[in-house]
Structure 1
Amino acid sequence: MTLALELSELATAVAREAGELARRRRSEGVRLAATKSTLADIVTDADREVEALIRDRLREARSDDGFLGEETGAEPGVSGITWVVDPIDGTVNYAYGIPAYNVSIAAVRGEPDPESWEALAAAVDAPALGETFTAARGHGAWSGGSRLQVTQETPAGALLGTGFGYDPATHAGDLAAVSRVMPIARDLRRMGAAALDLASVAAGRLDGYFERGLRPWDHAAGALLVEEAGGVVSRIDLDSPRPMLIAGGRDVHARLVAILDEKQ
């Protein structure tokens, strides 16, 4: 078994266990624990409990690996592998009882920086939807025993996904980006969970996706899903405080970059 497959199996098992814990805690009722960047950017007690579970399980299996989690930050390792974790991606959905939330786990090789790492394995578990998306570098992306494939043709226009930042000061720019891409769009979807948006691109449910201001744990697993499903993922405006991530099949990705990259 290759290292990528071994890491993917571990990520999948841990993501499913963590997803079940998140689902169970949601059914018991959600308590808000804190806010993050703005009042609208929340943390629940479940976020912290789920991340602690993930950290413990990964440490038990691979004690030399590093860890980068949304709630507890970075812990360097000595193996060259780092686990990049969002314990509950889509926390606002989770708090409101909207089922579009997930546990996102990726294993990357190299420095824990999206511009330099090599993603090896990914698992995105959506417990309220009953779906788990997995990928191992060089072995494809999968869900429910079916291999995932991005869409290649969009004769009626591209069905696109996006997201907005929590800071109201960024909304005008995000809406301006939407306005710019609408001429190539069939329609737009706003799910509220970046990893699920990227999984939807990998599964051919969205033709493309773009969003500013994502953090490494928001896209580490989902980006590998898209790439292993035959798509392309890139980040532009890297000198901006809110870089733009763009994902899709090759044609849609290229058209989105042409529209959204102001340096072209």
Structure 2
Amino acid sequence: MSGTALANPPTHKTTISLVTGASRGLGRNTALSIARAGGDVIVTFHSNADEAQAVVTEIAALGRKAIALQLDTGAATTFAGFSERLRAALESTWQRGSIDHLVNNAGHGDCATFTDTTEAQFDRLVNVHFKGVFFLTQTLLPLIADGGRIVNLSTGLTRLSLPGYAAYAAAKGAVEVLTRYLAKELGARGIAVNTVAPGAIETDFGGGAVRDNPALNQQLAQATALGRVGVPDDIGPMVASLLAPSNRWVTAQRIEVSGGQAL
């Protein structure tokens, strides 16, 4: 099979995207953006099944199929079992054995200065943001169709430094390096792998600091070229666009979506 053929996107009509941590925030927005673009979605959630089901209902109202599956992205020992549940769900819902897209979005914020960061905080951040991404992608790789896409979520904090996020940003930096290696190693299967790095966004991330602290919101807006902080609608559609056939030649890239923060 030629390299050109492998670089083409899947030929089946409907794509299926798995978005981790899609019950709220950027993951929810990404899942809905994919559905609006005509794709079906598998929503994963950690603990809030009701919120995840609400996203599934919203996607169904858009005329697309969706299901919700529980997943703890910080517990790599559960990934094999999740893979089996995913395989069964694909067969029963879509009569297929593969997904087209994996969006590694799930995550959490844990703010502490370098000197105050505990080993428990560090382990949780690394387990969710790096180890989880590494081994979940590895586990699901047999279920990702040739010509598919992987998008890993990072952060603008890998480019600029904000005290309190050393461990979080370091884990995300590892994901950015991993993205380039995955793009290289999976290129033979035509799988494109990219990183999306949001800037400051109004969500409940980090306790909702950017959204709920007017002084911080204004400070960040003043440091952004477009004059405001971001909202989920600035991120989800951009991630969805990376999954579109028109972006088949983009791989191994770190794409910052920050409105021009701290230029």
Give me the TM-score of the superposition, normalised by structure 1. Answer: 0.29
Q: Which has the higher contact order (CA 8 A, sep 6+)?
A: 2
Richer in strand (by share) = 1
Richer in helix (by share) = 2
